[in-house]
C-alpha cells in the first residue's frame, strides 16, 4: 500500500518548517512580496514550456529503460510520469514513484518490482548528473562566501553524495553486466533467510534484476546518462527564463549549480512538495552571489511554485482520468505479483 506512518509525516512537516525558518530568517516578507509583484511573470510561459519538454524527455528515458521488459510508446509513458510527479508533490515520502509503478502495472502488466528497479536507476542517474553540475562548478563555488550555511558545506555534501550515488551505480552496472553471477550471489544471500521469507523474496529479487537489464552494456548506460543530462539542462533552462523576470543576473553555470544543490537537498525528508528543503539552499546560494535577500527569496519561491503547480495540475488530471481517487489505497504488495 502507498501509505506512511503519522510520525513520519509530522517529522517531514517539522523538517520543512525548520528549513523554511532558515530560508526566511532575517528577511522582511513584505519586501519579498513586493519583489514578486514587480516580477515580469510573462517569462513563466517559456519557462514552463521548456520544463515540459524535459518531462517528455523523461518519459522517453523511462520508455528506453523499460525496453528490455516491454516496448511502450513515449506518449503512453508521459501521463504515467506526470502522475508520478503529482504523487511526489502531494503525497509524503516520494510516494509518486510507487504510484507510477502501480499505474504501469495496471496498464501494461509490468511487475512493480521490475519497474521500481528502472525508477531507482533513473534516480541514481539523476543524482549523478546533479553531482556533475555541482563538481563542474566547484571552482566558482570556492570563490563565493562560505558564511551562508548550505553553500559553505556543499563540498563535503558533494563528496559524500558522489560516493553514495556512484557506489550504487557501480553495483547496478555490475549486476546488469554479469546477471548469472549476480543471480547466484543474490540467491545464496536470500537462502540464508528463513524459508518462508526467502520464498517470497526470491521471485521479487528476480524481477528486480530483470529491471536492471537496461544497463546491460556501457553504451546503454551512457545513453541514459546523456538523456539525464538533457533533462536537467532543460530544467536549468526553466531557472534561467524565470531569472529574466527578476532584476538580477547570474550565469547559466551558476543556475546549474543551484539546480544541483537544491535537488540534492530535496532528498532530505520533508513535507510534500519539498517545502523548505528546496527554498533554503536556493536562497542561500543566490545570496552568496550577492543577490539581495528579498529578491533571492522572491525568485526561489516563484521558481518553486512554477516547478510544482503546472505538473501537479496536469498529473492530477491524468490521475483522475485513470480512475484513481484521493485517499485511495493502492495495492503495491510486491509478494502478490505473479
Report DSSP letters for 198-253, one per residue.
Answer: HHHHHHHHHHHHHHGGGGSSHHHHHHHHHHHHHHHHHHHHHHHHHHTTSS----HH
pLDDT for the residue numbered 337: 47
pLDDT for the residue numbered 62: 95
Q: Is the pLDDT of residue 331 over 60?
A: no
| Measured distance CA(22)–CA(279) in Å, rounded | 9
Q: What are phi and psi of 253, to 5 degrees?
A: -65, -35
Instruction: Give pLDDT tens digits for 116-135.
Output: 989 999 999 998 898 888 88
pLDDT for the residue numbered 73: 95
Q: Among residues 81, 71, 83, which one has the least CA distance to residue 110?
A: 71
pLDDT for the residue numbered 72: 95
DSSP state of 266: T
Q: Among residues 106, 122, 6, which one has the least CA distance to residue 332?
A: 106
Instruction: Give pLDDT tens digits for 138-158.
Output: 776 666 655 545 555 666 666
pLDDT for the residue numbered 182: 86
Instruction: Give pLDDT tens digits for 218-236.
Output: 888 889 999 999 999 999 9
Q: Could you tell me the three cell numbers for 40? A: 515580469
pLDDT for the residue numbered 312: 97
Arithmetic mean of pLDDT, 74-89: 95
More confident residue, 80 or 2: 80
Surface-to-core class of residue 45, CB atoms within 10 Å of its CB (0-12 exposed, 13-18 middle, 19+ buried): exposed
Instruction: Give pLDDT tens digits for 250-292.
Output: 999 999 989 988 888 888 888 888 998 999 989 988 988 889 9
pLDDT for the residue numbered 226: 94
- When pLDDT is cut at 50, 70 and 90, the band that residue 295 belongs to is very high
4: how many CB neighbours lie within 10 A of its CB?
13
Worst-scoring range by mean pLDDT, 55-59, 98-102, 120-124, 167-171? 167-171
Arithmetic mean of pLDDT, 68-86: 95
Q: Is the pLDDT of residue 179 over 50?
A: yes
- When pLDDT is cut at 50, 70 and 90, the band that residue 9 belongs to is confident
pTM: 0.87
Amino acid at each position: 500500500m502507498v501509505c506512511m506512518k503519522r510520525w513520519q509525516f509530522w517529522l517531514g512537516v517539522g523538517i520543512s518548517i525548520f528549513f523554511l525558518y532558515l530560508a526566511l530568517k532575517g528577511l522582511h516578507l513584505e519586501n519579498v512580496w513586493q519583489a514578486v509583484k514587480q516580477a515580469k511573470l510573462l517569462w513563466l510561459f517559456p519557462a514552463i514550456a521548456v520544463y515540459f519538454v524535459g518531462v517528455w524527455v523523461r518519459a522517453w528515458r523511462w520508455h528506453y529503460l523499460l525496453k528490455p521488459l516491454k516496448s511502450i510508446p513515449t506518449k503512453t509513458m508521459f501521463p504515467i510520469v506526470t502522475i508520478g510527479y503529482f504523487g511526489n508533490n502531494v503525497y509524503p515520502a516520494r510516494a509518486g514513484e510507487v504510484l507510477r509503478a502501480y499505474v504501469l502495472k495496471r496498464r501494461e502488466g509490468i511487475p512493480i518490482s521490475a519497474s521500481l528497479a528502472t525508477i531507482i536507476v533513473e534516480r541514481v542517474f539523476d543524482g549523478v548528473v546533479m553531482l556533475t553540475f555541482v563538481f563542474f562548478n566547484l571552482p566558482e563555488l570556492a570563490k563565493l562566501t562560505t558564511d551562508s550555511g548550505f553553500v559553505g558545506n556543499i563540498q563535503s555534501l558533494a563528496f559524500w553524495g558522489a560516493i553514495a550515488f556512484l557506489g550504487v551505480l557501480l553495483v547496478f552496472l555490475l549486476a546488469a553486466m554479469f546477471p548469472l553471477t549476480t543471480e547466484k550471489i543474490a540467491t545464496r544471500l536470500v537462502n540464508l533467510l528463513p524459508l518462508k521469507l526467502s520464498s517470497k523474496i526470491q521471485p521479487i529479487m528476480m524481477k528486480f534484476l530483470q529491471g536492471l537489464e537496461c544497463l546491460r552494456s556501457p553504451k546503454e548506460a551512457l545513453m541514459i546518462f546523456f538523456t539525464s543530462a538533457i533533462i536537467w539542462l532543460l530544467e536549468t533552462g526553466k531557472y534561467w527564463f524565470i531569472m529574466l523576470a527578476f532584476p538580477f543576473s547570474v550565469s547559466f553555470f551558476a543556475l546549474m549549480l543551484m539546480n544541483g544543490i537544491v535537488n540534492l537537498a530535496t532528498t532530505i525528508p520533508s513535507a510534500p512538495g519539498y517545502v523548505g528543503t528546496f527554498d533554503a539552499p536556493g536562497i542561500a546560494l543566490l545570496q552568496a552571489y550577492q543577490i539581495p535577500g528579498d529578491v533571492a527569496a522572491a525568485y526561489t519561491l516563484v521558481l518553486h511554485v512554477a516547478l510544482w503547480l503546472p505538473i501537479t495540475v496536469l498529473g492530477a488530471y491524468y490521475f483522475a482520468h485513470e480512475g484513481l481517487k484521493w485517499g485511495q489505497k493502492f495495492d503495491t504488495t510486491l509478494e502478490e505479483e505473479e
